[in-house]
Amino acid sequence: MSDVIQLLPDSVANQIAAGEVIQRPASVIKELVENSIDAGATQIKIILRDAGKTLIQVVDNGCGMSDTDARLAFERHATSKIRQASDLFELHTMGFRGEALPSIAAVAQIDLRTMRRDCQIGTHLELAASKFVSQTPDACAPGSNLAVKNLFFNFPARRKFLKKDAVELGHITREFERLALVNPSVEFELYHNDVNLYQLLPGTMRQRIAGLFGKSIDKQLIPVETETPLVKINGFVCLPEFARKRNAQQFFFVNGRNMRHPYFHKAVMNCYEELIAAEHQPNYFLNFEVDPQTIDVNIHPTKSEIKFENEQPIWQILSAAIRESLGKFNAIPALDFDKDDAPEIPVFDPSMAERLDLGSLDSSYNPFASATNKGDNLSNNRDETPSPSFSSGNEPSRLNSRQTFDPRFSTPGEFDSRSSHLNNWDKLYADFQSATTAGDPTSIHQPTPESFLVDETASSPGIEASALNTLPEMGPISQSGGLLQLANRYLVTIGNDSLILVDRHRAHVKILFERFFSSTRSSVGESQQVLFADIVELTPAQKGILDSIAPEIKSLGYELEFSHASDEGIFRCEIRAIPAMLPDNNGAEALMKIIADAEEGSGLPEEDLRRRLALSLAQSAAIRANHIQQHSDAERLLGQLFALPDPSYTPDGKPIILQIPVSEIARRL
């Protein structure tokens, strides 16, 4: 039998390496910009065409390369960063493997113009799919100008799996944010299809954060700084009130390198544990400086995962530094008993309790007694403001007799019929006038509070009166015919030999989802114009995601206008109209949630993406817990739910209906 093990050709080896190192256009930008940083560049310009599919060009003013170095740089494992294995533990550069440039050259066409600063003429090198095309002298500026053209031109399958331009641009801008944040002293420019997305001047870390994410984030930041023999930590965290449910800006850097570290992320989250809701995430921008010998960056192809030798001590140092910063800026509430103006708290003396004069207390006072039982005790209080009215049974309260209209539960015809009564202004006060003229003109007759108290003496023979005190306290229940509303959250009704509980919020999510999902199949959805347009600031990554789902956004009912402030790199989105079923004050929040959901579902098929967007908008538009709902709207909500083909579960699989059989009730009682 002949030998079966053979050495792979360099072209095949380069393609295998390219599959790990170069996954999409954002990977190319990461590798090229890191090379520019290692070359000492202070100005870096990135030019894109078609989200990097057609062109990725990186121009820098670094040290440049000689003609020999330029040719050798595209060979596998050719690098100027290290010389021996021990250098892996003394790294001060971003790259060191010598795999990036040959991997890029294996899947694209390369055009490189470079010149050293001490030379008078540079070199022009061309390659295609790792094959040398030409190399000629060239008069160019000092530094490097490397153009990557037609990415994956020789791998149609890989190119086919690239997403829409807007999605790929979103990945590029997020990678650009990481590179720009970790190098605030470098000037960056980013152009896409001749549009200047970012122009960042050299500055401090705080200025770079504001340049990337908008000036409004500056007021949210708290500085964090500490220095120990193990680690030096500096950066910023956000105030608890600015924590986000989605799209939190969270960045870790170590020795000028971006990294992901779930263990340190947990340390940050622990500091905010009692300050923010469980589903919220704080923004943070934290940089670690450690001895290069105590970390290993060679454990992942993209070098984004880093292993620390002293993880546990650094975890404790990081946690203490963040807690100290939150405390300094009053983000953590505390009581200070050492202040000069603190009130004097007397020491408790047990003997004082025996000398208290309890004779002045009226033991017969009952705050729940009616005016008739109190006798003359209330005779002098007739001029006081009357208390709010109460109602019992099915008789509506006069203060609650005005029906409110909620467009989310009514049709346009019902709205017209209700609003027509508002034209007769004299009828609006008819009930009020009849109530005030029938009795005391200064107050409305009200039932006494005793009508709501439980008569303990009338309890069942099998239950002693004292046992009533052990019953669990019940939430508020309102009734309309056979429908109950429990705690302004659940609807309770009776089925065939069962008790049915319906989660009102989830039911409304289900109903609105069906409406919004059906509207995504049309070109324009039902919308409502807003009187005062909301302004939302979007990063280029968020703007790219929004552009990729523009037809779906329009079909849901949004009307948006964009303007771009090139000096800040931030897009301003003006919301002119919102979906018809959406509350007026929820348009901006719902739009940001849609962008976040679209980003998470960027790889989904079009039908699944539309379902995700419809669900996102339905969750934003649905009524919340503790929302006071009219009984007519509650009945209509229940009717619309049971008219759906599958009313039992929300689109994301959460139960809507709980059915308790009579047998289960009997077993428990």
In a domain, 380, yes or no: no
Nearest to 633, CA basis, from 423, 420, 414, 486: 414
Instruction: Kindly state whether residues 319 and 217 are assigned to the same domain.
Output: yes
Does residue 3 lie in a domain region?
no
* 258 and 316 fall within a common domain: yes
Nearest Cα residue to 636 out of 403, 411, 397: 411
The answer to whether the beta carbons of residues 490 and 478 sit under 8 Å apart is no
* 436 within domain boundaries: no
Per the structure, how many domains does the chain have?
3
Do residue 78 and residue 213 come from a single domain?
A: no
How many CB atoms within 10 Å of residue 13? 17
342 in a structural domain: no
* Domain stops at, among 273, 304, 328: 328
**35 touches 64 (CB < 8 A):** no
Domain finish residue from 328, 354, 372: 328
| Domain harbouring 244, CATH code | 3.30.230.10
In a shared domain, residues 194 and 215: no
The CATH number assigned to the domain holding 663 equals 3.30.1540.20
- Give the separation between CA 283 and CA 242, rounded to whole angstroms: 8
Name the domain boundary from 145, 165, 200. 200
In a shared domain, residues 300 and 319 = yes
Distance separating alpha carbons of residues 443 and 431, to the nearest angstrom? 14
Same domain membership, residue 102 and residue 62: yes
Domain that holds residue 605: 405-410+477-669
- How confident is the model at residue 55, as a pLDDT? 96
CA atoms within 13 A on the CB side of 508: 27
The pLDDT value given to residue 12: 63
Mean pLDDT by 10 residues, the chain (669 residues): 64 58 87 90 95 95 90 76 53 60 90 92 92 91 94 87 84 92 94 90 93 86 93 94 85 89 92 88 93 78 76 93 88 51 52 53 56 46 43 40 49 47 50 46 38 37 38 44 79 86 92 86 78 83 83 87 68 87 79 82 75 87 82 86 89 91 89
On whether both 109 and 188 belong to a single domain, the answer is: yes
| 256 close to 301: Cβ distance less than 8 angstroms | no
Do 505 and 651 lie in one domain? The reply is yes
Residues 136 and 240 in one domain: no
Q: What is the CATH number of the domain that holds 158?
A: 3.30.565.10
Other C-beta atoms within 10 Å of 246: how many? 15
Q: Roughly how many angstroms between the first and final C-alpha of the chain, as a whole number?
A: 81
* Tokens standing for residue 293: 């010998």
Residue 319 contacts residue 271 (beta carbons within 8 Å): yes
The span from the CA of 647 to the CA of 656, in Å, is 7
Pick the closest to residue 284 from 270, 274, 295 (CA basis).
270
pLDDT recorded at residue 145: 95
The answer to whether residue 568 is domain-embedded is: yes
Same domain for 320 and 245 = yes
DSSP 655: B
On whether both 167 and 228 belong to a single domain, the answer is: no
Q: Are residues 257 and 312 in the same domain?
A: yes
Does this model's pTM top 0.75? My answer is: no
- Note whether residue 190 is domain-resident: yes
Return the closest-CA partner of residue 136 out of 73, 67, 74: 67
Domain for residue 422, yes or no?
no
So what's the pLDDT on residue 443? 39
Q: Does residue 400 contact residue 431 with C-beta atoms inside 8 Å?
A: no
For residue 107, CA distances in Å to 9, 23, 31, 53 come to: 16, 11, 14, 11
Q: Is residue 431 in a domain? A: no
CB-side neighbour CA atoms (13 Å) of 455: 6
Torsion angle defined by CA atoms of residues 35, 36, 41 and 45, in that order, rounded to the nearest 10 degrees: -160
